[in-house]
Amino acid sequence: MPLSSNDLRNGMTLDLPDGLFSVVEFQHVKPGKGGAFVRTKLRNSRTKAVIERTFRADEKIEQAVVEKREMQYLYKDGAHYVFMDNTSYEQLSVEAGSLGEAASYLKEGDSAVLQMYDGEIVDVDLPAAVELAVTKTEPGIQGDRVSGARKPATLETGLVVQVPLFVNPGDRIKVDTRSGEYITRA
């Protein structure tokens, strides 16, 4: 649906000729000379790259209506992830590529909000932190207490994160889904 550049707000999704973008930041500028304009920072929904774009004041832009559906991840079927809609109980098979980085944080039974546009997944909203079990890591050596030392650990989803030396296989840890970093032992 058409929208004036004067009505832009953070979080809005725009359907531009070069793809789907969400508004990260916007600023109305009215210089002393010449026409007013809107300076924006936009994030590409697929690549996550941030670009800057300037629109004339009152320029018509196409707003994309993105549907957010809360779904539960049921199981992995080959290269596909199977989700169930929490309201209609309808199942949806999704390619791993459509989920992007979110696939590394999902385990069976977890909930996620899938953002869909024209039947295609454009983004996945996860909780800020998830609890995952450590499946493989080197044991910490007794007496090795270097402050802040880290070692790699493989988690149940296949994600590898840097953890402190005291974390052992079988431990459950919290991982930040935005940065992919270890937070604490659960």
Mean pLDDT score, 118-145:
80
Q: What's the burial of 105, exposed, middle or buried (CB within 10 Å: 0-12/13-18/19+)? A: buried
Q: Which helix (H) or strand (E) holds 99?
A: helix 96-99
Entry pTM: 0.71
pLDDT, one tens digit per residue, over 56-106 is 888 899 888 888 889 998 988 888 889 998 888 888 888 888 887 888 888
Mean pLDDT score, 145-160:
82
3-state secondary structure of 10: coil
Strands (E), 60-159: 60-62, 67-77, 80-85, 91-95, 111-117, 120-125, 129-137, 150-155
Q: Domains (ranges, CATH) in the chain? A: 2-62 (2.30.30.30), 67-125 (2.40.50.140), 129-185 (2.40.50.140)
Per-residue confidence band for 146, with pLDDT thresholds at 50, 70 and 90: low
- Bridge partners, residue 115, by sequence: 68, 123
